[in-house]
Structure 1
C-alpha cells in the first residue's frame, strides 16, 4: 500500500466488509431465540455499522474512484469469502438454533480476527502516515478513531467467546 489510491480502496473495502458483517450480525440477532445472545449480537452489529461509517468518513479526504472489483483484487480471497458468507447470513429467514449458532460464531470470529489484524497492521499505520504527510490533515482524531475500531474488534472476539460459553452452559 502507500499510495492515496491504494488507501482509498482499502478504506472503501473495509467499509464494505464492516457493513456486510454488521448486516449478518443483525439478522442472526433477530433469528436466535435466546434474548441475551440476541442482544450481544446486536451490540456487535451496531459497532460494525459504526465502523463502516467511520471508514467512509476517512475516504472523504481521498478522492479516488473505487469499485467492488478493486476490492476483490486488493483484499483477496479471504475478503471475498467473508463478504459472501456475511451476505448469506444476512439473507437468512429461518430461525437459528443455539447449536447452529455455535458454528456460525466460529465464522464470525474469523471475520473479527481478519478485521482486527488487517486494521492493526495495515490501516492504522498507512492512514495516519498518508493523510498526515500528503494532505496536511491533523490526524489525531482519526488516529484515535482507528484505535477505537481496533479495540472494538478485539472486544467483539471477547463477546463471541462469552456467547459460546453461554451456549455451552445451556447445552449442559
Structure 2
C-alpha cells in the first residue's frame, strides 16, 4: 500500500478484517464447545457471536467503499505478520479436537486466550487506523465511522471478558 490509502486499499483492508473475524468466530465457538464450565462457555459464545457480527459488518463496509475481488487480495501482505499469526492461531483452535476441557486444562490453554486478547487489541487498533484512513482518502462517511466505532467498543468488551475468565480460572473461583 502507498502512504496515502486509496479506496481499494481501504475496501481490501475491511474485507481482510472480515475474513479474520470469521476465523476468530470459529475459534471462540470451538473453545466454547470444549470448555466444561457452562458460564465460561457462554461468555466465549458471546464473544463468538460478536465476532461473527463483526465479520458480516466489515464485509458490508468493504462493499460500501468499493467492490473488491477477493481472489486478488493478499491479506497477508496487506495486514503483515499479525495476519499470519492470528490466522494460524484461529484455524488451529477451530480445527482442534472436540474433546471437552476441564478448568485446569483451560488454565493450560490460557495462552490461547491471551493470544485472543492480543487479537482484540489488534482489531481495535486496525479499525481506528481505518477510520483515520477514511478521512485521509476523502471517504468521511459517518455511517462507516459509527459502525467501526461500535466494533471497537465490542472489542474492548471482549478484552474485559477474557481478562475476567482468566482471573476467575486462575483464582479457582469457578
Residue by residue over 1:86-138, the C-alpha shift from the partner in whole angstroms, topping out at 9 and shown as x without a partner, is 00000112223222232221111111111111112x112223554636xxxxx
5+ long unaligned stretches in structure 2: none
Give the match for residue 88 of structure 1.
Answer: 92
Tell me, in whole angstroms, the C-alpha distance in 1 between the residues paired with 2:33 and 2:73: 31
Give the match for residue 38 of structure 1.
Answer: 41
The answer (yes or no) to whether the contact 1:20–1:87 under 8 Å persists in 2 is yes
Give the match for residue 67 of structure 2.
Answer: 63
Task: Indicate the SS of the match to 2:47.
Answer: helix
1:4 positional shift = 1.3
Decide whether aligned partners of structure 1 residues 128 and 50 sit closer, same or farther in structure 2, where only a CA change above 3 A counts: farther
The answer (yes or no) to whether the contact 2:12–2:73 under 8 Å persists in 1 is no
TM-score (structure 2 length as normaliser): 0.87
Give the match for residue 118 of structure 2.
Answer: 110
Decide whether aligned partners of structure 1 residues 68 and 116 sit closer, same or farther in structure 2, where only a CA change above 3 A counts: farther
Give the match for residue 160 of structure 1.
Answer: 162
RMSD between aligned alpha carbons?
A: 1.9
Task: Indicate the SS of the match to 2:67.
Answer: coil
5+ long unaligned stretches in structure 1: 134-138
1:54 positional shift = 0.5
Tell me, in whole angstroms, the C-alpha distance in 2 between the residues paired with 1:80 and 1:65: 20
